[in-house]
Amino acid sequence: MAMTMTQKILAAHSGESEVVAGQLIEARLDLVLGNDVTAPVAIREFERIPGAAVFDRGKIALVPDHFAPNKDIESAEQCKAMREFARKHGIENYFEIGCMGIEHALLPERGLVLPGELVIGADSHTCTYGAAGAFSTGVGSTDMAAGMATGVAWFKVPSAIRFALHGGLGGWASGKDLILSIIGAIGVDGALYRSMEFVGPGVASLTMEERFTVANMAIEAGAKNGIFPVDEKTRAWAASVSNRPYVEYAADPDAEYERTITIDLSTIRPTVAFPHLPSNTRPASGSGVVAIDQVVIGSCTNGRIEDLRVAAEILKGRRVADGVRCIVFPATQKIYLQAIREGLIEAFIEAGAIVSTPTCGPCLGGHMGILAEGERAIATTNRNFVGRMGHPKSEVYLASPATAAASAIAGKIVDPEEVLEAPGRRG
């Protein structure tokens, strides 16, 4: 029977020769992930299992990144619980101060996720790793606890939507603009419990950073996962982060999809998601006069080195508009250090921005950038629900690093091409 890429990975990990959409399976896990919001709950459930032991000390990753560095006593206790659990069970992949990072950027950077693997994480944006040709999806803390104990989890095999990409992105358009355009077209439930599989000759034009961004936001269309085929860029990336062997899976030519959506990448333009849904998208150039109070550049969606380079290119030699707070969050310590070496941090600071240690803080309204009543922020994060970054009467606009940086200069939401010369294609 013909299968999609996702179905092939699930079949291989469940010991089945084939699986079909809607089938319930129990599958072997290659990695189980938790953060400082979700892991403490999973740990409490895990400890209720008589004589529980972790299934593999090298296949569990614990990353306190949401409220770390700790913002208050409660968050300190959350991280303490994770730290003590990691020590007790000899967890090999525990990352905190000094080696920390935002989980969905850190794990690929550390080579903990490779093509063909099956990953669950108690965080909805675990779907990020589909960029590397893996099946990865978010689960609840109870499922995380069971996964840590048994090394398996149950799944309902998703059906799939195929996104056929052609051509290449131009100007300031990026992977963020691509996924925002897709979500705007199909809606926040347009891929509900489906696999979003990205195929076609246009895939080769996307950098790995762009693929991570696109896969990261698959959940914002309701998807179970987003996944890209393994190609030369994937293989080169995998070789740069790990020497572990991996298995490549490819969809059968006659695999069954619910529908195919064809996208000409050359038509994608800088896009902004207006409050209060990622699907409420408009072209940046047609957004009207939307004055902003804060700009956030970073997160698990757009805090990688390529993102910082684009933002620095725009901000260098210019100034953040008066009255605008611009906060930059490198996604990992390694990215932060690389940004220092390349002079990007200097460019940010000289432009009037501030740079923070890696953290998820502002994205979820946790700390380091909370919005007051009536304030507006443009952010490279992935969600803009009511109260997402602070007060329920504040507003969050989602955009790419280029659009966010250009808007920081203008003091209002703008298309980068309104104020800057269009660049050549990167990557």
SS3 content of the chain, % helix, strand, coil (to 5): 35, 20, 45
Task: Quote the pLDDT of residue 425.
Answer: 44
Token pair of 330 as six digits: 């490198």
Query: For residue 194, what are the contacts with CB-CB under 8 A and spacing of at least 6?
Result: 158, 159, 160, 161, 222, 223, 224, 258
DSSP for 195-250, written as a single string? EEEEESGGGGGS-HHHHHHHHHGGGGGT-SEEE----HHHHHHHHHH---------
What is the pLDDT at residue 427? 43
Amino acid present at 278: P
Q: Which is it for strands 271-273 and 281-283: parallel, antiparallel or unpaired?
A: antiparallel
Amino acid, res. 42? A
C-alpha 240/C-alpha 111 separation (Å) is: 8
Cis before 276? omega within 30: yes
Q: What pLDDT, on the 0 to 100 scale, is given for residue 203?
A: 97
pLDDT of residue 366: 79
In angstroms, rounded to a whole number, what is the distance separating the alpha carbons of residues 306 and 328?
13
Q: The pTM is what?
A: 0.94
What's the CA gap between 287 and 245, in Å, rounded?
47
Residue position matching structure tokens 């860029």: 233
**351 CB-near residues (< 8 Å, 6+ apart):** 315, 316, 317, 318, 319, 320, 326, 408
Cα distance from N-terminal residue to C-terminal residue, the chain: 37
Residue 299 in tokens: 């997160």
Looking at the DSSP bridge assignments, the partners of residue 154 are: 26
Residue pointed to by tokens 């920081």: 408
Task: Report the run of H or E that residue 314 belongs to, with start and end.
Answer: helix 305-315
pLDDT at 423: 64
Domains of the chain: 5-264 (3.30.499.10), 270-419 (3.30.499.10)
Q: What string of pLDDT tens digits covers the 427 residues of the chain? A: 899 999 999 999 999 999 999 999 999 999 999 998 999 999 999 999 988 899 999 999 999 988 888 889 988 999 999 999 999 999 999 998 888 899 999 999 999 999 999 999 999 999 999 999 999 999 999 999 999 999 999 999 999 999 999 999 999 999 999 999 999 999 999 999 999 999 999 999 999 999 999 999 999 999 999 999 999 999 999 999 999 999 999 999 999 999 999 999 999 999 999 999 999 999 998 777 899 999 999 999 999 999 999 999 999 999 999 999 999 999 999 999 999 999 999 999 999 999 999 888 787 777 888 999 999 999 999 989 888 888 999 999 999 999 999 999 999 999 998 877 656 444 4
For tokens 């606009």, name the residue.
Answer: 397
CA–CA separation, 359 and 381 (whole Å): 12
Residue 214 phi, psi (nearest 5): -65, -50
Dist CA 202 CA 134 (whole Å): 19
Q: Is 121 helix (H, G, I), strand (E, B) or coil?
A: strand
The Cα diameter of the chain in Å comes to 63
> In sequence order, which ranges of 293-373 are alpha helices (DSSP H)?
299-302, 305-315, 333-341, 344-350
